[in-house]
Amino acid sequence: MNMKKIFIALIILIFPGVIVYGQVNAPKPYGPLPSANQLRWQQMEYYAFVHFSVNTYTDMSWGFGNEDPNIFNPSQLDCMQWARICKEAGMKGIIITAKHHSGFCLWPSKYTEYSVKNCPWKNGKGDIVREMSDACKAYGLKLGIYLSPWDRNSADYGKPEYITYFRNQLRELLTNYGDIFEIWFDGANGGSGYYGGANETRKIDAKTYYDWANTYKMIRELQPNIVIWNDGGDRADLRWVGTEAGYIGETNWSLLNKTGDVPEEMLRHGVENGNAWVPGEVNTSIRPEWFYHPKEDGKVKTLPQLMDIYYNSVGRNATLLMNFPIMPNGLINEKDEKAALDFAHAVKAAFAINLAKNAPAKATNVRSKNAIYNASKVTDGNKNSYWSTDDSIKSASITIDFGKAVSFNRFLVQEYIALGQRVKAFSIEAWVKGEWKLLDKQTTIGYKRILRFPTVSSTKLRFTVLDAKACPLITNMEVYKAPQILTPPIIIREQSGKVRIIPADPESDIFYTLDGSIPTRNAGRYTGLIETGNGKAEVKAMAYNAVTGKSSTVTIEHFDISKKQWKILGTADSNVYAIMDGLESTSWHQQQNTTAPVDLIIDLGQTEKLAGFRYLPDQNWWASDIVTNYAFYISNDNNQWQLVASGEFANIKNNPLWQTNMFKPINARYIKLSALHNIQNNNAAGYAEIDIITE
Ligand code: FUL
């Protein structure tokens, strides 16, 4: 034994607690802490919602409560299909709408006749919650329950009796179907409804009516491992994030205050000094709406959209609850399945090889200089070990040494949240050409934070906690080179006539042609807006990854004459040009003072030989003012008008896509689209885009 070892042995003998496994010196918990249930839930990261009820059969967002149970008759209902898709999609559980606002129960509740026991499916002998529970077990998934507090069928809704009914149903669901990981109480509460035939509006005070405290007590007794999501009532275990669009704030504290109102800003970001642990769950649907609507078959979220949702939820210290609407036949639509599986593959590919695994790491400060807390704990893959600084140190760095130059574009970091969320600000830098280059500077971390940045090649990465509430505890850091998402690029023609090409991944190269040939990587590299003159244009484009040599499939767009000289007459509203900016996501709406028709008059700037026109209605989720019946006129002097086409845009409400109408070619300088009728039967018309077809 040398002198140093003898000295250490003596110290251990005299002060056993100081060094032995760092017990005495272990960091103390800071602020509110997650419960064991919340910790377990957070680690699930990604799980599913399924929405299914009587309103699936009436194409409505919410059932009114008077829907005849006889309409509920799924011909191919298969919870195994739902579970298989969720499992293959990398999800860890499924939350089923056991009862949505309609009040219709997917299980044969003893306490109401408004359930599967009175529908034709399985002659009233079926139980979808049971089938869901069995399917979850078969696929190793956890089961969650959505039970709407608002019940538009119950005659008792709004009266004290309803609370007993609600609790009876809860008891059934939490007793008869095995372990339930999460219970979901929707914030939509009270309003119009059937209410046993009363057909009236009933208002309740969501804060007092449900007596949540006692309901929570009962829930925890029945399911000790559950987490409670409640948007409207007393603070529970999890919080809504204030939007259904699929993101949470970049700054995201898992804290709120136990009492008091929570405005949307707070839902989005949490409360830095909140006194309760209430982490955020990002809930969104794979399609615009929660329930199935055939009109949305073309609106399933794209891979780039889903990837953004992932980084903006799981990558921002939240979980992701992704909804599948169930079709009337009882299955998940194959487009939704494909989208979810493509998404899962892309996430897997992005996080395939951790370039920082077991890489040597050095810290500017290590708690008590004790190896238990040293920098290597962030790259050792052990979620129970962590790097920590001395109590007085709230800013410190870790440098990870890759040993050679590596290329990367993603950084993942995790706090050891069992002892509280601490980090307020941090940065990451890469060692490039002999100096530190800032890659990103952000605020909170929490359970998991993932950053995206342009690919950089470097031998070292420096992570710096710039500010923290208490000494930082970092359990994990990972570094990745996510491959490019090579979906076909979007091609638009702006009003100027210039063409813009937008790839899914900003790092992709784009190659295009204007002569009808298939683009190759040898010519036609896109570097910015393409001048295509005023005539018609055919543009083909593909996204290309120069490193792997892989390319997307080709997007082909045919554009008619440019709209450079077009003027919309009769309005001073500058937003009107949204209808010819090439972007389907922007729109313009106009209203006539009295009644329809609503006229849109355009001066084309010169005489053209017209053979047709095209109309794209507002593409937003809750779009109104969609024109169903039209008359189309042409003129050469903006005075004498000639009707060249009229009729109905068939099925436009259900399928709000481009409408094309051809007519006998005719010369004209002015066009007038007269909206005679819209979907909501009033005097308004909305347009995402308008186009013409020339001969
Ligand atoms: C909302 C409900 O009103 C929707 O129908 C859906 O269930 C969604 C998850 O929550 O508040």
Q: How far is the centre of ligand 1, averaged over its atoms, from the C-alpha of 73 (Å)?
A: 23
Q: How far is the centre of ligand 1, averaged over its atoms, from the C-alpha of 123 (Å)?
A: 29
Amino acid found at 181: F
> Cβ(234)–Cβ(257) under 8 Å?
no
- What is the band of 1 on the pLDDT scale with cuts at 50, 70, 90? very low
Mean pLDDT of 652-673: 92
**CATH 2.60.40 residue spans of the chain:** 490-559
Q: In whole angstroms, what is the distance from residue 693 CA to residue 143 CA?
A: 53
**CATH 2.60.120.260 residue spans of the chain:** 353-480, 567-694
The pLDDT score that the predictor gives to residue 19 is 43
Report CA 455 to chain centroid distance, whole Å: 25
User: Is the predicted pLDDT of residue 12 greater than 60, yes or no?
Assistant: no
Nearest ligand 1 atom to alpha carbon 49: 9
Nearest ligand 1 atom to alpha carbon 323: 9
The pLDDT score that the predictor gives to residue 20 is 41
User: Is the predicted pLDDT of residue 7 greater than 60, yes or no?
Assistant: no
The pLDDT score that the predictor gives to residue 295 is 84
User: Is the predicted pLDDT of residue 13 greater than 50, yes or no?
Assistant: no
- What is the band of 561 on the pLDDT scale with cuts at 50, 70, 90? very high
- Cα maximum dimension of the chain: 108
- What is the band of 24 on the pLDDT scale with cuts at 50, 70, 90? low
Query: Which residue has a Cα nearest atom 10 of ligand 1?
Result: 186
Q: Looking at domain 567-694, which CATH architecture does it have?
A: Sandwich (2.60)
Ligand 1 site, residue 188, Cβ cutoff 6 A: yes
Amino acid found at 27: P
Report the 10 Å Cβ neighbour count for 425: 16
**Phi and psi, residue 600, nearest 5°:** -115, 115
Tokens of 71: 């309409």
Candidate of 50, 60, 186 to mutate for ligand 1, largest count of ligand atoms within 8 Å of Cβ: 186
Q: How far is the centre of ligand 1, averaged over its atoms, from the C-alpha of 646 (Å)?
A: 39
Amino acid found at 32: P
| CA angle (296 as vertex; 295, 298 as ends), nearest 5 | 105
The pLDDT tens digits of the residues spanning 476-495 come to: 999 999 999 999 999 999 99
Q: How far is the centre of ligand 1, averaged over its atoms, from the C-alpha of 239 (Å)?
A: 14
The pLDDT tens digits of the residues spanning 120-165 come to: 999 999 999 999 999 999 999 999 999 999 999 999 999 999 999 9
User: Is the predicted pLDDT of residue 22 greater than 50, yes or no?
Assistant: no
Ligand 1 site, residue 186, Cβ cutoff 6 A: yes
Ligand 1 site, residue 283, Cβ cutoff 6 A: yes
Q: How far is the centre of ligand 1, averaged over its atoms, from the C-alpha of 244 (Å)?
A: 9
> Cβ(354)–Cβ(79) under 8 Å?
no
User: Is the predicted pLDDT of residue 554 greater than 50, yes or no?
Assistant: yes
Least confident of 85-89, 262-266, 278-282: 262-266
The pLDDT score that the predictor gives to residue 261 is 87
Report the 10 Å Cβ neighbour count for 138: 13
Query: Which residue has a Cα nearest atom 4 of ligand 1?
Result: 290
Nearest ligand 1 atom to alpha carbon 291: 5
Q: How far is the centre of ligand 1, averaged over its atoms, from the C-alpha of 236 (Å)?
A: 18
Length of the chain (residues): 695
**Phi and psi, residue 273, nearest 5°:** -110, 30
Candidate of 189, 244, 282, 324 to mutate for ligand 1, largest count of ligand atoms within 8 Å of Cβ: 244
Query: Which residue has a Cα nearest atom 9 of ligand 1?
Result: 290
pLDDT > 90 in the chain, percent:
88
Fold of 39-350: TIM Barrel (3.20.20)
Ligand 1 site, residue 56, Cβ cutoff 6 A: no
Candidate of 290, 291, 320, 621 to mutate for ligand 1, largest count of ligand atoms within 8 Å of Cβ: 290
Query: Which residue has a Cα nearest atom 6 of ligand 1?
Result: 290
Query: Which residue has a Cα nearest atom 8 of ligand 1?
Result: 290
Ligand 1 site, residue 60, Cβ cutoff 6 A: no
Nearest ligand 1 atom to alpha carbon 51: 7
Tokens of 19: 């060094």
Nearest CA to 129 out of 170, 165, 75 is that of 170
The pLDDT tens digits of the residues spanning 166-198 come to: 999 999 999 999 999 999 999 888 899 999 999
Query: Which residue has a Cα nearest atom 7 of ligand 1?
Result: 290
Half-sphere exposure of 2 (CA within 13 A, CB side): 1
> Which residues lie below 8 Å from residue 502, measured CB to CB, with a gap of 6+?
489, 490, 491, 492
**Phi and psi, residue 257, nearest 5°:** -90, 145
Average confidence score pLDDT of the chain: 94
**CATH 3.20.20.80 residue spans of the chain:** 39-350
User: Is the predicted pLDDT of residue 42 greater than 80, yes or no?
Assistant: yes
- What is the band of 323 on the pLDDT scale with cuts at 50, 70, 90? very high
Nearest ligand 1 atom to alpha carbon 61: 5
Task: Match domain 353-480 to its CATH number in 2.40.50.140, 2.60.120.260, 2.60.40.10, 1.25.40.420.
Answer: 2.60.120.260
User: Is the predicted pLDDT of residue 2 greater than 70, yes or no?
Assistant: no
The pLDDT tens digits of the residues spanning 103-126 come to: 999 999 999 999 999 999 999 999
- What is the band of 513 on the pLDDT scale with cuts at 50, 70, 90? very high
The pLDDT score that the predictor gives to residue 124 is 98
More confident residue, 231 or 340: 340
Fold of 490-559: Immunoglobulin-like (2.60.40)
Q: How far is the centre of ligand 1, averaged over its atoms, from the C-alpha of 291 (Å)?
A: 9
The pLDDT tens digits of the residues spanning 329-380 come to: 999 999 999 999 999 999 999 999 999 999 999 999 999 999 999 999 999 9
pLDDT > 70 in the chain, percent:
96
Least confident of 223-232, 335-344, 356-365, 529-538: 223-232
The pLDDT tens digits of the residues spanning 444-472 come to: 999 999 999 999 999 999 999 999 999 99
